[in-house]
Every structure is written in C-alpha cells, then in structure tokens.
Chain A
Amino acid sequence: MASTGGRGAEVQRFTLNERLQHGVLMVSTLVLLLSGFSLLFHDLWIGRWLLWLEGGIAGRGLIHRWAAGLLMGLCGYHLLYILFTARGHQQFMEMRPRWRDVRDFVQVMRLNLGRPAARPAFDRFDYRQKFQYSAIFLASSTMILSGLVLWFASEAMAVMPKWLFDALAVLHGGESVVIFLVLFVWHLYDVHLRPEVFPMDWSWITGRIRVADLQERHPMEYERLRQAGVIDGDAQR
C-alpha cells in the first residue's frame, strides 16, 4: 500500500536529508550489531558463523570499526544538523519530551483497557517516537564512548584501572543487547506490526504521509498545517 497517490493527498513528513540520516543509522547499527554479536556470542553457533562470515577476528574488528566510524560521523552530522539548521533545530525541539507525553501515555493505556479517557491529540511526534529517539540518542552516546575506550585500549590502559576497562567492555556488550531489543522488538513492531501501520509505515522511504493518516495520528500537527495553509482541509479522504 504505497502511498503514491490514489487514496488521498499526501504531505511531506521527512526530508531526503533526514531519510538518508535514518538510512545511514540503520546500516551502521545493523553492521555494528552483527559484527559485535559475533564477539558477544562467540560461544554459540551464531557467533561462530558470523565470525566466519566476517573474515575471522581481524575482519570482524575491521568491519566493526568502519561501521563505528560511520555511526560517529552520522552522529556528528546529526548534532550539526540540529544545532545549525533551522529545519533540524525545529525537529529537535519537537522531539523534546514533555509532561504531556506522560499524560498521553496514560490516556492511551486507559483507552486500551476500555476505561473512560479522551483520545490524546498528538503533535508532530507522539510519545512512542520521542521515546525511540531518546533511546537511540542515549544508547549511541553510551556505545560510542565505551567503544572508543575499547578501540583505543592501549591509550585507555594508561589512564584507567583494569576493573573500569573490564566493566566498560561488559557495558558495551549489555547495551548492544538493549539496542538490539529496542530496535527489533520495539521499533519494528512500531513501524510494521502496529495495526495502524501494518504492513509498514512507508514514510521512512517516501518521506510522505497521507493527510488522512496525519489527521488521525498527529491531529495537532494536522491542525497547524491546515491553518498555515500547507494542506487543504477538504482535500483529505
């Protein structure tokens, strides 16, 4: 059900730049997970198989570091993007968690349970999307910092005791499992399996969202765009 016209007008949700950022994040994170899990699960067939696939311990390390470089480059770019571009800054401000998000969450839960509650009116990003962004933001920072310590082990050994180094190595592995679960259990559910979007929310590829969907999922943003004249309130459906 590609939203390429037909069933209602569409409006741009993500710019090409943002979609490319998402693409690079996706590729680098997947490669990092695969080349990291080969080490984390070296005792299991999957780890051994991954290691073989990645050209042994040396090839694995090389792949992991290249992907890490890519991710760090992306994170650096993203920071510049949200700091120095109007669009990026605006998007970041929309992502900020607010108390309303907690209220929205409680309301959704009440509705799901059949308790009386008003349907929350989400703005551009709902609480699920904000959680997702914050999780990636935190996890990337943790992984990059602990990863750099492991990458520059000899330099790190000059300044830190071994117990801290060991703990950071374990943290790097534990956090990778968290990231894997957030992505594969939560994020994939969120953008594929949720009844509202099944089989897939196409906006990550097309960058567009149907006006009807916008009105249903992000009513406040819809209202703002309609008042700004970006979309024609009658053109939907």
Chain B
Amino acid sequence: MLGGIQRATADGRPSRKTGQGKIPAAILAMLVAIGLGLLAFGAEAAAAPGGKPAGPADRECLRCHGDPALTRAQPGERARTTYVDRAVLERSRHARVACAGCHGGITHLPHAAKLERAACAACHPREGQAYAQSIHGRGLARRDADAPTCQRCHGGHDIVAVNDPASRVQPLAQAKICMECHADRRITARHPEMPSVLVIRAYADSVHGQAASKKGLAVAPTCTSCHGTHALTPADDPKSPVHRGQVAETCGRCHQGILAEYRDSIHGVALAKGIAESPTCTGCHGEHTIAAPSDPASTVAPGNIAKTCGGCHAAERIVRAYGLATKRGETYADSFHGIASKFGNPEAANCASCHGFHDVRPSSDPRSRVAKANLPATCGKCHPGAGARFAEGRVHIEKTRESAPGVFYVRTFYTWFIGILMVCFLGYMALEFYGYRRRRGAGPPKASS
C-alpha cells in the first residue's frame, strides 16, 4: 500500500513522505482502511489514486525522469524536457498518485517513445465524459492540435485543487487561461468558428471582469460561470447555458431576484412562449461587454436605454410582426425627456424610468407601471405633484389631430400665424421701399440719404 506513495530520490534516500512513518503503524493502517472504504463509495473508486496501478513503480520512472537534462525529440519537433520535478509533484493535488496512475500503458522499460495521453478520466469519469462531448473534447477527438486537453487548463504535474488560490482555473485566474487560446489571433485565425478576439477581450473591461480583477471577488462570474466547464458547448447549442433559452436561468443563478421579476415580465413570458425574438438578459445588457448601468458606455446606461429598446421597438419588422406600438422612440426623442436624456442629463426619464426594467409589462396589464391607474404614481417618482388629471392625456404623443389635438391645433395656428406675419412684414417693407423710390424719382433706392 505504502509503496504506491513512496518515492525514492535519485540517490536512494527515503523521501519526506516516508519520513512520516513515525506515526504508529496501527493508526496508519486504520486511516488507510477508512480512506479506502470511503473511496469505495465514490465513482472514482474504479481506479483509486492510492491503489497500486499496473506499471513501473515511481522510483523506476524517476530513475530517468528525475534527471533535469532529460529531453525527448520527436522527428520534426524541438526537443522537449521530460524532466519531472519531484518537489512540484509533491506540492500538487496528485502528490499521492503514482506515476503509472496517470501514465498507463507502460509494460516494460524503457517505454515506447510515444505514450498514451494521461488518463485523467480514469479517476474523473464524469468530467471526462462531459469533456468528450464538449466543443473542446470534440476538437481533441478530431486531433485538432489547438483543442485544450485537461492539462492545458488544469496543469500537469503541478495540478492543484480548483479552489486552491494557486490553481490555474480558480475563479480569479481562470479568464487568463481561457484567453491564452481565445484571445490569441493565431489560434482564432485557424478556427473561423471561434468568436472574435475582441469579443473575448471585452470581458476584462466588463463589470464582471472588473469585479474579479479590480475588486478581487472570487464570486465574480468568470468564463465558466456562464459557459459551463467541462461540458462547454457553443452558444448556439440549445444545451449551452448561454443559449438564448438558457441565458436567463444562467444569469439567475446569481441574480435570483431579477430572474423572478424577468420571468413575470412581458419579455420573459414571451420568451417562455417560444418567441425567440423576445429579449433575454443579454438582449439588453450585452454579453462580454456587460457594464453597470452607471457606466456611460453600458447599453442600459440612462443615455443609451432608448437606443437599446429601440433596437427592437423601432425595428419595423419586429414592430409589425408582434403588433407593437409604433413610433415609441420618435415620440420619446421629441419629448423633453428624450431631448434632455440625449444631451446628457442622466436624470431625465428614459424608457425604463416609466415602463420598468426587468418587470416591464404592457399598459393593459394592471400591474404595469404604465397602466392608467398607476401613472400618477409612476410620474410621481420624479414629479411628486402629478395627479390623476395629468394622466388623462397620452404620453407618447405624435403631432397629429388624433394623437394630441391640443398640440396639433397650437402647431397649426402658429404655422399659419408665422406664415401670414412674414407675408405682412415683407409686404410692408416692399411697399415702403416702393414708395420711397417713387418719392425720390426713378433712381435706385439709395438707402442712406
């Protein structure tokens, strides 16, 4: 049993681990028995790390691989080191796993030049299975050299637990690992199906990226928080947590209260009914570029809301297809709210100020903030005096007789009044010049006398 974890140094002295043999043998045996018993219940029990695997003992391996000068050269490749630093290995999560536990298929020494890939799935079958179905796993199966293996993300001999601050895939460090490939233009150039490097890099400046990099929040969403881990698939796969149908649930894992509000909104209800064009979280907030509403660059910043909502509500095809109210954006842009918002007043009412954010509902719904009965309260948020009488008129008014008779008649009056006034002024001036010319004889009207 102990042989599996015992590694000799090159000069044959016992390692630090075997030096712990001062613990009474009876207790040690008991601990091992308990450990084995526990492992037997786990799925990983099939190839328990402590079990003696087939293959050479570690000391046999290290006889060669303990030599820092050891390299391997495949034909047409640069020489690569095959040295295994025992100190690194012993600090790793796999300190107690024998060499042959991962590196199988070695029946005699010296072993074949090309060995099987380290068999992670033997102990981690669930992860292995998920990985095999992922976009990364399928790439590897196609022998795509760019497809990341287990080691590419988790590390090799230096592997540590995911929650270890030294882990390459711990939340605060993980984005860096993903970007090593996804932000590398050489790799994306070979794979046109990969998203643009710019899209990926935008994460670093997003509110989520900043929460990790600036505020050091381990709970800040990193790549896998949204995209999934081993089973990672592209967003157009319905199983992907970032697929349109799944996004709300995915965001809702952290933003639980918002998810409840959204599900009950017209957008959430429509999406649940299968209207794919109904916006989900990312429809308004963006994906990798997501920013806090207080960030002026955010798609949901007060100054940008009208444009974001207008993306659908001013799109003729969508407006017509779903029978949405027309000219919402134009009439807003023409209102004082719209002008003030456009020219940089963040306090000016935007779409969401009146219609609500995640809980947006049609005015026909009595729970809607813009239902007739709720308008005094909604307007009253900014205009404390607004009474029921105020809400009598329409809010999004067009300059037509039907939409706003008062506005229409005042406008019409001024159009005519200004026109007639100008005709009178210019006519008067013309007459006066004419008279002046007559009185001064036939000469040109010299203005100054």
Contacts and interface: CB of A to CB of B under 8 A. Distances in A.
Interface in A146-204: 153-167, 169-171, 174-175, 177-178, 181-182, 185-186, 189, 193-195, 198-199
B414 A195 contact: no
Give the interface size bracket for A toward B.
Answer: 35 or more
A163 B345 contact: no
B435 A189 contact: no
20 contacts: A42-B342, A51-B343, A58-B344, A112-B434, A112-B436, A113-B434, A157-B386, A158-B387, A161-B389, A163-B406, A165-B393, A166-B407, A174-B411, A185-B425, A189-B429, A193-B447, A195-B433, A195-B436, A195-B445, A198-B448
Interface string B277-307: 0000000000000000000000000000000
A177 B379 contact: no
A57 interface: yes
Contacts of A163: 392-394, 404-407
B42 interface: no
Contacts of B392: 161-163
B343 A185 contact: no
B407 A167 contact: yes
A82 interface: no
A134 to B, nearest CB: 14
Contact of B431 (A112, A182, A185, A186): A112
Contacts of B434: 112-113
B74 interface: no
Contact of A112 (B390, B422, B435): B435
Contacts of A116: none
A39 interface: yes
Contact of B447 (A159, A167, A195): A195
A194 B445 CA distance: 11
B405 to A, nearest CB: 7
A145 to B, nearest CB: 14
A160 B421 contact: no
A154 B336 CA distance: 14
B425 A158 contact: no
A113 B385 contact: no
Contacts of B438: 112, 114
A87 B302 CA distance: 56
Contacts of B411: 170, 174
Contacts of A156: 385
A160 B393 CA distance: 10
Given A158-B390, A185-B422, A199-B448, A57 B339 contact: yes
A45 to B, nearest CB: 14
A163 B418 CA distance: 23
B357 interface: no
B339 A111 contact: no
Interface string A37-54: 001001000000001000
Given A155-B385, A195-B436, A162 B393 contact: yes
Contacts of A189: 425, 429
A79 interface: no
A109 interface: yes
Nearest to B424: A186
A56 interface: yes
A174 B417 CA distance: 9
Interface residues of B, number: 50
Contact of B410 (A162, A170, A182, A185): A170
A158 B386 CA distance: 5
Contacts of A171: 410, 414
B125 to A, nearest CB: 62
B391 interface: yes
Interface of B: 336, 339-340, 342-345, 348, 379, 382-387, 389-395, 397, 404-407, 409-411, 413-414, 417-418, 421-422, 425-426, 429, 431-436, 438, 445, 447-449
B417 A112 contact: no
B431 to A, nearest CB: 5
Given A154-B383, A155-B385, A178-B417, A164 B406 contact: yes
A18 to B, nearest CB: 25
Contacts of A162: 390-395
Interface of A: 39, 42, 51, 56-58, 108-109, 111-114, 153-167, 169-171, 174-175, 177-178, 181-182, 185-186, 189, 193-195, 198-199
A216 B418 CA distance: 33
Given A56-B344, A159-B387, A195-B449, 9 more contacts: A112-B436, A163-B394, A165-B393, A174-B411, A174-B414, A181-B425, A185-B425, A195-B432, A195-B436
A162 B336 CA distance: 13
A96 to B, nearest CB: 22
A198 B395 CA distance: 51
Contact of B344 (A57, A155, A182): A57
Given A158-B387, A158-B390, A162-B394, A194 B432 contact: yes
A178 B421 contact: yes
Contacts of B390: 157-158, 160-162, 165
B448 A113 contact: no
A167 B344 contact: no
B389 A166 contact: no
Residue of A56, A157, A160, A169 ringed by the most chain B CB atoms within 10 A: A157
Given A169-B336, A178-B421, A189-B429, A154 B407 contact: no
Contacts of B345: 56-58
Contacts of B422: 181, 185
A181 B342 CA distance: 28
B385 A157 contact: yes
Contacts of B409: 167
B393 A166 contact: yes
A177 B385 CA distance: 31
Contacts of B405: 163
A166 B397 contact: yes
Contacts of A160: 389-390
B436 A182 contact: no
